[in-house]
Amino acid sequence: MNKAIIAASALTMLTTGFVATTAFAGAESKCKACHTFEQGGKHKTGPNLFGVMGSKAGSTDFKKYGKSLKAGGWVWDDENMKAWVCDSKKAIKALTGDDHAKTKMGKQKKCGEKADAIVAFLNTLK
């Protein structure tokens, strides 16, 4: 490999990393309006999200859960979290198996690769 090719591939790697990071930076700032991510962080409009992956839905000491999330019963994993950040209003129905289930969290429209980036980030919070 000559130097130009090495430089070009290094640049590609850098750019890819950059895109992945910025894709989440936008998404994260949106969540931050209502959530904190650090251990012991306080609840805001929504519950603190430290350690949320692998935990039972609605299981923090946040006082303002809606009925459906509070009744929970599912454990947050990559798949259901992706569905949640894309469309929580739809996901709550699928997760509870109740067509009338509601959540207080609005649809975030973070779907596809944005959802992947958010889930990857949430998985680091432990």
Q: Least distance in Å: CB of 95 to ligand HEC?
A: 10
Q: Give yes or no for residue 96 binding ligand HEC (CB under 6 A).
A: no
Best CA proximity match to 88, nearest among 31, 28, 23: 31
Q: Give yes or no for residue 101 binding ligand HEC (CB under 6 A).
A: no
State the Cα–Cα distance between residues 58 and 76, nearest whole angstrom. 10
State the Cα–Cα distance between residues 103 and 58, nearest whole angstrom. 11
State the Cα–Cα distance between residues 98 and 41, nearest whole angstrom. 31
Of the pair 7, 71, the CB lying nearest ligand HEC is at 71
Size of the site for ligand HEC (CB under 6 A): 26
Q: Give yes or no for residue 69 binding ligand HEC (CB under 6 A).
A: yes
Which residues are near ligand HEC by CB under 6 A?
A: 27, 30-31, 33-35, 45-47, 49, 52, 57-58, 60, 65-66, 69, 84-85, 103-106, 108, 110, 118
